[in-house]
């Protein structure tokens, strides 16, 4: 007899009723365990993410396009919503009805408030403040020297507008003593050409189309801030950086000298309840987009695990420390997220299934034996009665009681593995029968 046949024979010896009575509660227990574990399974990551970017031609839009390509590789569709800038993005994120999941944010344009459910993904890159001025104003190196001039300070809702007002205010300049124009974007190039403005504040990296165009616009110069260190003390969200001579273009020698600037940090704000898998993808996109060498950074300088106006996301902190999750290094994104969710289901398997396998055979054995032991109790009771008062019943009545127990025992559904107990019971019934015959005969 081979192994398969032996297994089939053993299964055929089991009582289906006992298996049902023992197995059904255990299966229900396992089902309850799985249901409980399922309550803690994260939902699958959404396949769409809405990102609030920035103004037309700005760096935020360019970076959003780069993010879109990265996320598309993993089956996630990024929808970009242009905005006025950092302040507009923050307002959208605070509005639950806006449908925006993430937005670019410039440090210093806002901070976490009570009830805010927003977190930062770290510092992504330097966002310098560029102060361009019309050639012919001399060589100004202090903002105060622009007093009374026509200054473009960026559009309302933009990070440029916010920082420009901060810097001008630090120098005592406002709309009362200086003409402040709410202009920004690529239109500044034309405004300089037509002589409509004397200076312009622009916030953004060199990848910004506006910054790059103004750096190469004839008749437009870049201010080097003599008070850069002082500004970083007054406005802690700013840092001092230096644009080295020729860093923009060595051949054309742009700029023609080292230029001292101040810069804020740029980040991506997301809702606190964003799926961790999407945070991982956004950080991977950030590394691909901002992690290389640049005019103000070396490879690997960014992104950094640094809170920017808002608390650093816990998932982002883990990513900055350990990198891409282990499963995503070896599995496709969809498979990695599926396995990550299903790991929770191992809890009931470990906590319940192993004890079930351990105790189920014992419970089954106890159930089969209990039916036989119950007849032993009846048999013991008759034996005790006969010993104490044989005349209580006639001999035929005593024997009828024993016959009833024996007939009942013959109807017990007993698997072959427990047949020896049944035959032992029948033997004991015979012994009691002999005792009954002896006692009732002696009494008669």
pLDDT digits (tens, 9 = 90+) for 263-279: 999 999 999 989 888 99
pLDDT of residue 11: 40
pLDDT top residue among 141 and 367: 141
Q: Which of 81-90, 106-115, 296-305, 344-353 has the lowest mean pLDDT?
A: 344-353
Quickly state the pLDDT bin for 51 (edges 50, 70, 90).
very high
pLDDT reported for residue 400:
83
Is pLDDT at 435 greater than 60 in this prediction?
yes
Between 216 and 342, the more confident residue is: 216
Q: What is the mean pLDDT of residues 123-146?
A: 95
pLDDT of residue 349: 65
State the sign of the Cα–Cα–Cα–Cα dihedral 287, 292, 294, 297.
positive
The model's pTM is 0.68
| For residues 163-192, average pLDDT | 94
Higher pLDDT: 208 or 323? It is 208
Of 185-194, 249-258, 320-329, least confident by mean pLDDT is 320-329
Is residue 2 very low, low, confident or very high in pLDDT (cuts 50, 70, 90)? Answer: low
Average pLDDT over residues 350-379: 73
pLDDT of residue 113: 80
Candidate from 229-238, 298-307, 328-337 with smallest mean pLDDT = 328-337
In this structure, are residues 278 and 45 in contact, taking their beta carbons and an 8 Å threshold? yes
Closest by CA to 63, choosing from 217, 264, 206, is 206
240 DSSP β-pair partners: 262
Average pLDDT value for residue range 387-391: 79
Q: Which of 203, 214, 205, 111 is nearest to 155 (CA)?
A: 203
Written in H, E and C, the secondary structure of 7-61 is HHHHHHHCCHHHHHHHHHHHHHHHHHHHHHHHCCCCCCCCCEEEEECCCCCCHHH
Between CA 207 and CA 51 the distance in angstroms is 19
pLDDT score at 71: 93
């Amino acid at each position: 007899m081979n192994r398969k046949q032996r297994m089939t024979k053993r299964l055929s010896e089991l009582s289906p009723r006992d298996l049902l009575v023992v197995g059904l509660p255990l299966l229900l227990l396992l089902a309850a365990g799985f249901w409980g574990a399922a309550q803690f399974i994260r939902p699958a990551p959404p396949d769409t993410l809405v990102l609030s970017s920035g103004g037309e031609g700005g760096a935020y839009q360019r970076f959003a396009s780069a993010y879109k390509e990265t996320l598309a590789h993993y089956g996630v569709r990024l929808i970009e919503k242009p905005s006025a800038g950092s302040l507009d993005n923050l307002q959208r994120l605070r509005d639950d009805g806006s449908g925006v999941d993430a937005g670019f944010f410039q440090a210093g344009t806002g901070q976490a408030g009570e009830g805010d459910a927003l977190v930062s993904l770290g510092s992504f890159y330097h966002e310098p403040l560029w102060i361009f001025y019309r050639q012919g104003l001399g060589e100004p190196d202090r903002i105060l020297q622009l007093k009374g001039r026509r200054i473009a300070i960026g559009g309302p809702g933009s990070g440029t507008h916010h920082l420009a007002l901060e810097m001008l205010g630090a120098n005592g300049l406002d709309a009362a003593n200086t003409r402040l124009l709410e202009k920004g974007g690529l239109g500044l190039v034309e405004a300089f050409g037509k002589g409509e403005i004397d200076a312009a504040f622009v916030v953004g990296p060199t990848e910004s189309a506006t910054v790059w165009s103004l750096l190469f616009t004839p008749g437009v110069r870049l201010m080097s801030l003599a008070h850069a260190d002082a500004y970083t003390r007054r406005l802690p969200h700013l840092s001092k950086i230096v644009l080295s001579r020729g860093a923009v273009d060595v051949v054309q020698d742009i700029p023609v000298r080292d230029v001292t600037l101040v810069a804020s940090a740029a980040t991506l704000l997301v809702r606190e309840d964003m799926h961790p898998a999407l945070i991982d993808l956004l950080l991977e996109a950030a590394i691909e987009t901002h992690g290389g060498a640049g005019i103000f950074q070396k490879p690997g300088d960014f992104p950094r695990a640094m809170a920017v106006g808002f608390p650093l996301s816990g998932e982002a902190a883990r990513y900055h420390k350990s990198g891409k999750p282990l499963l995503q290094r070896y599995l496709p994104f969809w498979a990695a997220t599926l396995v990550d969710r299903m790991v929770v289901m191992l809890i009931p398997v470990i906590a319940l299934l192993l004890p079930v396998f351990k105790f189920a055979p014992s419970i089954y054995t106890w159930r089969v034996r209990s039916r036989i032991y119950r007849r032993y109790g009846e048999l013991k009771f008759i034996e005790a009665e006969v010993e104490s008062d044989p005349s209580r019943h006639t001999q035929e009545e005593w024997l009828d009681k024993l016959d009833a127990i024996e007939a009942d025992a013959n109807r017990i559904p007993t698997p072959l593995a427990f047949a020896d107990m049944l035959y032992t019971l029948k033997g004991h019934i015979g012994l009691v029968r002999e005792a009954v015959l002896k006692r009732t005969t002696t009494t008669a």
